[in-house]
């Protein structure tokens, strides 16, 4: 049976990226040697890193005063790289979910953290509004898409201090005005590749301002200088990310992706709002176009397991909500085809007909 993959991360990737990557495992760049077996100090590989970096600049129209680097350790490692490199004394954070909370915890190792807005009071079901960003902090940290609860900050905000964003789960899903940010980071495994590599986009003039000594591996400047090869980079994940970005470009770039993503999300939210059995969990105005979360309507509370079973039998994969939230979460990242969303909607409609 055909499977429709709604996993939250790692998740679905473009077919073309998978196929090109399999090919490279057998024979990288017509060298007769596979990509898992080459040295990262070969011209063929150096070209991959360069072309991949260039593609980031091209797709997101990143200005020249920024650098893009690829690192191991996942987005969670950036939770402490960011304060280590940028926090002199104090930083402001917005707490919009579990990931934001973890970022806050790690930042506290380096200085004072001021949580200036939080939606914890309502289970992170909305994005806080009406807060003021202080001017006496070194940066303001936000999580643009809250993967677990399905809320999203959809516009690039103005900030009087450098804006730092965890964009793990919505990078490349929409055009971003990079110039409004100081640092953007994330793990690749939600929207731009497999697990094992993270991306960091940094305005270079923000670096070198802290007094603390930084081990080379934590210092962004080492990785910038080494062009993402300060140490052995995650070669294969970077290669798959490169192929994924090539697909984004072939699809028409991030503007086109944004249109497709908005259409997919609207179809699914419309069905959730129409269908008497389901109800969305995120505040309507803050609904994520990447992670769509819903639960059974009160009247049908006892049917949760039945719907999961029914949907699984129809080929839906990875729709169970995060263990901390329950219900359902369907992740419809860039690489999730519209047919998958249509199949899920049909499944919801067929389930409703049974009652």
Nearer to ligand PLP, 170 or 219 (CB): 170
Told to check if 10 binds ligand PLP by CB under 6 A, we report no
- Judged by CB under 6 A, the residue of 76, 222, 312, 314 near ligand PLP is 76
Parallel, antiparallel, or unpaired: how do β-strands 4-5 and 316-317 relate? parallel
Residue numbers 151-210 binding ligand PLP by CB under 6 A = 166, 168-169, 187, 190
Told to check if 128 binds ligand PLP by CB under 6 A, we report no
8 Å CB contact between 208 and 215: no
- Judged by CB under 6 A, the residue of 5, 143, 151, 159 near ligand PLP is 143
Told to check if 74 binds ligand PLP by CB under 6 A, we report yes
8 Å CB contact between 146 and 118: no
Told to check if 6 binds ligand PLP by CB under 6 A, we report no
Told to check if 7 binds ligand PLP by CB under 6 A, we report no
Nearest to 319 by CA among 13, 1, 2, 7: 7
Report DSSP state, residue 349: H
* Other beta carbons less than 10 A from residue 262's beta carbon: 14
Residue numbers 81-100 binding ligand PLP by CB under 6 A = 99
Told to check if 72 binds ligand PLP by CB under 6 A, we report no
Told to check if 147 binds ligand PLP by CB under 6 A, we report yes
- What secondary structure does DSSP assign to 210-268, as a single string? --S---TTT-HHHHHHTTT-SS---HHHHHHHHHHHHHHHHTTHHHHHHHHHHHHHHHH
Residues 27-66, mask of contacts with ligand PLP (x by CB under 6 A): ----------------------------------------
Nearer to ligand PLP, 238 or 347 (CB): 238
Q: Which two tokens stand for residue 255?
A: 């503007």
CA quadruple 58, 184, 203, 230: dihedral positive or negative? negative
Nearer to ligand PLP, 9 or 280 (CB): 9
Task: From residue 306, give the alpha-carbon distance in Å to each of 279, 292, 301, 303.
Answer: 16, 19, 10, 5
Residues that bind ligand PLP (CB under 6 A): 9, 74-76, 99, 143, 147, 166, 168-169, 187, 190
């Amino acid at each position: 049976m055909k499977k429709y993959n709604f996993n939250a991360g790692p998740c679905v990737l473009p077919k073309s990226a998978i196929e090109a990557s399999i090919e490279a495992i057998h024979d990288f760049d017509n060298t007769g040697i596979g990509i898992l077996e080459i040295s990262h100090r070969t011209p063929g590989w150096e070209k991959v890193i360069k072309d991949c970096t260039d593609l980031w600049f091209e797709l997101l129209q990143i200005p020249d005063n920024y650098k893009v680097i690829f690192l191991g350790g996942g987005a969670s490692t950036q939770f402490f790289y960011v304060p280590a490199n940028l926090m002199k004394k104090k930083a402001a954070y917005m707490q919009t979910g579990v990931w934001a909370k973890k970022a806050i915890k790690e930042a506290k190792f380096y200085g004072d953290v001021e949580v200036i807005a939080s939606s914890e009071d309502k289970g992170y079901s909305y994005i806080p509004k009406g807060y003021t960003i202080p001017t006496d902090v070194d940066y303001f940290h936000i999580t643009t898409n809250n993967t677990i609860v399905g809320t999203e900050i959809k516009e690039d905000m103005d900030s009087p201090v450098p804006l730092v964003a965890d964009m793990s789960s919505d990078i490349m899903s929409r055009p971003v005005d990079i110039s409004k940010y100081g640092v953007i980071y994330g793990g690749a495994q939600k929207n731009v590749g497999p697990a094992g590599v993270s991306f960091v986009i940094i305005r270079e003039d923000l670096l070198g301002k802290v007094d603390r000594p930084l081990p080379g591996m934590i210092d962004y400047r080492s990785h910038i200088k080494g062009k993402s090869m300060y140490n052995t980079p995650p070669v294969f994940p970077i290669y798959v990310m490169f192929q994924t970005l090539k697909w984004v470009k072939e699809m028409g770039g991030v503007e086109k992706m944004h249109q497709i993503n908005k259409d997919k999300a609207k179809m699914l939210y419309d069905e959730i709002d129409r269908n008497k059995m389901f109800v969305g969990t995120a505040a309507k105005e803050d609904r994520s176009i990447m992670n769509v979360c819903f639960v059974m309507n009160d009247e049908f509370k006892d049917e949760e397991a039945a719907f999961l079973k029914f949907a699984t039998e129809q080929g839906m994969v990875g729709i169970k909500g995060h263990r901390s939230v329950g219900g359902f979460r369907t992740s419809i990242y860039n690489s999730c085809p519209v047919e998958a969303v249509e199949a899920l909607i049909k499944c919801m409609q067929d389930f409703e007909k049974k009652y």
